[in-house]
A and B are shown apart, each in its own frame.
Chain A
């Protein structure tokens, strides 16, 4: 009996001691960049800097491959096992916020006052996510190609019009210089389609959903502007300007560098590879203006806090800590992303004034339009992708867009309007 009491006492005492020693709060974090060595080193650097600077918190990081990251988060959320900090793709954030996977951030708004608009994620009037970088897309070309075909170099202030752009493609095709005039990257599936191609639609005057209500796609995705866009899109393939849906992914990666394609529609993340690949007279041109301005996509991976986190204070502290110019600059130099602020851009090799990729910063600041901010976007994006692939493969434009509108509308209705 006495022995038992002693044992229990000892147990209690040791637990208390251990508890006191662990006054540090453990904070868990998931990140999508598993498998990328440079990226892992960068994010680990932030984590260890933060842990060294804060005695109260201990952040531990777990990385996932990008391909299975979203599935892991959804599975963990269904099982109630989310970590404190997650990173989230910008357009997916409203879906997770609406589903109560995430909680609003409570970081000081003054910190993000100068951030590029695409790096800040708001849903329902609240700040849910913020990113260290943005991504942008431009038209890759060689200065020598432009000169040879005597084409005007488009600028931010005066991009190519639709006619000029089609004239350029026609000239490139007629010159026989390349196998295809224009590579839009059909080999990349998934989020690339809405991210890279819906800006064309928006420049024509359409959109994936009607952004005034977010309750329907009728008129936006199948209106006159959208049908005009669809016909233009189809003509890229029927006229032989662009490789189709069965494009070899390897060609997508190196086709422009090898001279297979005269123009390529590609992101800032591939620019360094193109320059290093030996295209020394590369120019990055703004998107053509199809009538409603020149538009590109915005919004990349961002940090947020899970709804179930009991350490929101520490998680917010970590995110605030990560939003330092030096880290943004490091990510930019390491993996070619666009830093979220001008001051960070000035610290980078590529995006500083006069840097080779400086134009992307201006593109993001001036022409970027985020994808529809709605929980239903996740489904609409899939529908949009299929519609564009079908049109590229020769489906009837109006019928395909009508069907896409029906599918998006049914989904919105079945989700009771997605909380808008």
Chain B
């Protein structure tokens, strides 16, 4: 069966060359460049020479440790408690600032704490914002990847029918993908405003029971708000991929299953889903990678605030490299992000492999 084209090495390489060339130029070379820069103190603007600093950038970014704080005691050695019986603790900054006894914690900040007995265990990090960004990014990926994938599949099943005017619905669901994410972000900022559309809709439908809130200005709702908007914006894109997957499934299989008397659910479970296997892998990996790259929404809508609740890894890389003129710091974040995404993609690929 092998034709000349599929066996000819020269033709194969010639076809691959434009793709490989561009990938090398814009992905592979910059990555090695970033890796090299992350080992130096390169600045965006500086007359000072670049110096090799080893792993300092990684150390500054990733240093994290646990500080045990004993409660305050009175002269007799008894723990001082407030009215509720909660012990009082000295402030973390008394350990992390200008305290020669706790040099290893110098410059660190509290992330969160828990209690074991009366001792408070405080997690402190040198670069608190980076750790928060990492957590936000992972949260975003964990929510967006399955939810967006599932909604996209649902929409694809809905529009994969022979109905009059179905193309109108296809266009409607796909429309947000075509609009620039910056424009979408600006519009959703108005929707989410305290006297914005979302609050007034919720207020009307709950007959005034719902109290309007400042979705993007509250650290408990800001990331969720951005997740919802991001899912809505890109769901049409994945819907189209699912749709193309659905249309590769042979109609004879459906005919056979209907002759066998399969229910709708059984048809989906035993015909559609197995037929979508490769599509599912593709959609999952693409959504995961796109979710890790979350940036534009943050930059337009919240600037990482309030209180770093929406800061992400890519936002930090840009903010540091460009905003704070610290190219080496930005490169370090990029390298860490690359390794993270690579690990997760390989894991996903391994878990979804053909057994």
Main secondary structure of the interface of B (DSSP, over half): loop
CA distance A416 to B107 in the complex (A): 19
Q: A399-B93, A402-B93 are in contact. Are A378 and B325 (CB under 8 A)?
A: yes
For residue A71, which residues in chain B have a CB less than 8 angstroms away from its CB? 322
For residue B97, which residues in chain A have a CB less than 8 angstroms away from its CB? 402
CA distance A406 to B60 in the complex (A): 12
For residue A74, which residues in chain B have a CB less than 8 angstroms away from its CB? 44-45
A398–B93 CB distance below 8 A = yes
Residue of B nearest to A98 (CB): B47
Residue of B nearest to A376 (CB): B325
CA distance A62 to B324 in the complex (A): 27
Q: A399-B109, A403-B109 are in contact. Are A390 and B46 (CB under 8 A)?
A: no
Q: A245-B305, A393-B306 are in contact. Are A382 and B45 (CB under 8 A)?
A: no
For residue B107, which residues in chain A have a CB less than 8 angstroms away from its CB? 406, 410
Residues of B243-301 at the interface with A, using a CB-CB cut-off of 8 Å, are none
Residues of A58-107 at the interface with B, using a CB-CB cut-off of 8 Å, are 71, 74, 77, 95-96, 98-101
CA distance A331 to B135 in the complex (A): 49
For residue A402, which residues in chain B have a CB less than 8 angstroms away from its CB? 93, 97
B216–A415 CB distance below 8 A = no
Contact of B214 with A by CB under 8 A: yes
Contact of B238 with A by CB under 8 A: no
CA distance A411 to B303 in the complex (A): 21
A415–B46 CB distance below 8 A = yes
B214–A246 CB distance below 8 A = yes
For residue B219, which residues in chain A have a CB less than 8 angstroms away from its CB? 393
Distance of B318 from chain A, by nearest CB (Å): 12
Chain B, residues 25-54, CB within 8 Å of chain A (1/0): the string is 000000000000000010111111000000
CA distance A383 to B41 in the complex (A): 19
Distance of A196 from chain B, by nearest CB (Å): 17
Contact of B344 with A by CB under 8 A: no
Chain B, residues 176-204, CB within 8 Å of chain A (1/0): the string is 00000000000000100110000000000
Contact of B307 with A by CB under 8 A: yes
Contact of B12 with A by CB under 8 A: no
For residue A99, which residues in chain B have a CB less than 8 angstroms away from its CB? 45-47
For residue A382, which residues in chain B have a CB less than 8 angstroms away from its CB? 319, 323-324
Residue of B nearest to A414 (CB): B41
Contact of A395 with B by CB under 8 A: yes
Contact of B87 with A by CB under 8 A: no
Distance of A239 from chain B, by nearest CB (Å): 17
Contact of A389 with B by CB under 8 A: yes
For residue A414, which residues in chain B have a CB less than 8 angstroms away from its CB? 41, 326
Contact of A379 with B by CB under 8 A: yes
B324–A379 CB distance below 8 A = yes
Distance of B103 from chain A, by nearest CB (Å): 15
CA distance A402 to B109 in the complex (A): 10
For residue B110, which residues in chain A have a CB less than 8 angstroms away from its CB? 399
Distance of A388 from chain B, by nearest CB (Å): 11
Residue of B nearest to A250 (CB): B190
Distance of A401 from chain B, by nearest CB (Å): 10
A100–B47 CB distance below 8 A = yes
Contact of A48 with B by CB under 8 A: no
Chain A, residues 391-417, CB within 8 Å of chain B (1/0): the string is 001110011001100100011001110
B43–A415 CB distance below 8 A = yes
B46–A394 CB distance below 8 A = no
Contact of A248 with B by CB under 8 A: yes
Contact of A45 with B by CB under 8 A: no
Q: A244-B214, A246-B193 are in contact. Are A389 and B45 (CB under 8 A)?
A: no
Contact of B217 with A by CB under 8 A: yes
Contact of A189 with B by CB under 8 A: yes
Residues of B299-322 at the interface with A, using a CB-CB cut-off of 8 Å, are 302-303, 305-308, 319, 322
For residue B45, which residues in chain A have a CB less than 8 angstroms away from its CB? 74, 77, 95-96, 99, 101
For residue A246, which residues in chain B have a CB less than 8 angstroms away from its CB? 193-194, 214, 216-217, 302, 306
Counting chain B CB atoms within 10 Å of each CB, the highest count among A95, A189, A403 belongs to A403
CA distance A398 to B217 in the complex (A): 22
For residue B323, which residues in chain A have a CB less than 8 angstroms away from its CB? 382
A389–B306 CB distance below 8 A = yes
Residues of B38-96 at the interface with A, using a CB-CB cut-off of 8 Å, are 41, 43-48, 91-93
B307–A390 CB distance below 8 A = yes
B307–A395 CB distance below 8 A = yes
For residue A419, which residues in chain B have a CB less than 8 angstroms away from its CB? 47
Chain A, residues 240-264, CB within 8 Å of chain B (1/0): the string is 0000111010000000000000000
Q: A244-B217, A245-B305 are in contact. Are A379 and B48 (CB under 8 A)?
A: no
For residue B91, which residues in chain A have a CB less than 8 angstroms away from its CB? 398
For residue A394, which residues in chain B have a CB less than 8 angstroms away from its CB? 307
For residue B190, which residues in chain A have a CB less than 8 angstroms away from its CB? 248
Distance of A180 from chain B, by nearest CB (Å): 12
CA distance A4 to B44 in the complex (A): 51
A390–B305 CB distance below 8 A = yes
**A246-B216, A411-B326 known, 8 other contacts, Cβ within 8 Å:** A98-B47, A245-B306, A246-B194, A379-B325, A389-B303, A389-B305, A393-B219, A398-B91
Please name 28 pairs of A and B residues whose Cβ atoms are closer than 8 Å in the assembled complex, sorted by A. A74-B44, A77-B45, A95-B45, A96-B45, A98-B47, A99-B45, A100-B47, A244-B217, A244-B306, A246-B217, A378-B325, A379-B326, A389-B303, A389-B306, A390-B305, A390-B308, A393-B306, A393-B307, A394-B307, A395-B307, A398-B91, A402-B93, A403-B109, A406-B107, A411-B326, A414-B326, A415-B46, A416-B48
List the 10 closest pairs (A to B, CB-CB), nearest first. Answer: A246-B217, A393-B306, A99-B45, A379-B324, A393-B307, A246-B216, A406-B107, A248-B193, A246-B214, A100-B47
